[in-house]
Amino acid sequence: MTRYDLPDILYKAIKDMGGQTNIIDVCKYVWEKYKTDLQHSGDLFYSWQYDIRWAATELRKSGRMKAAEISPRGIWEIV
């Protein structure tokens, strides 16, 4: 797993959680589902919670996630 896998993982996580969630719950979900992959990902293991925010930005740029200005404060929503 690399940082570049995170946008698709994040998208799937939010989709599985009903299309919207907050960062705490999505990080819990990602940890539960991808713990082993993260533990064996080298430096990503230490930065994945930061990188998940980068993944959200990438999803917004690609139009797969609503802009922060459109979603309620603290909520991440996919399109």
Q: Model confidence over 21-65: pLDDT tens digits?
A: 999 999 999 999 999 999 999 999 999 999 999 999 999 999 999
The pLDDT value recorded for residue 28 is 98
Q: How far is CA 26 from CA 7, 22, 42, 70, in A?
A: 12, 6, 21, 19
What's residue 76's pLDDT? Answer: 98
Give how many domains the chain has, as a whole number: 1
Predicted pLDDT at 62? 98
Ramachandran sector of residue 31 (left: φ over 0; alpha: ψ -120 to 50; beta: rest): alpha
The residue segments making up the domain with residue 71 are 3-77
Nearest Cα to Cα of residue 64 among 22, 15, 5: 15
- Per-residue pLDDT at 27: 97
HSE (side-chain half, CA atoms, 13 Å) at 64 = 15
pLDDT of residue 2: 96
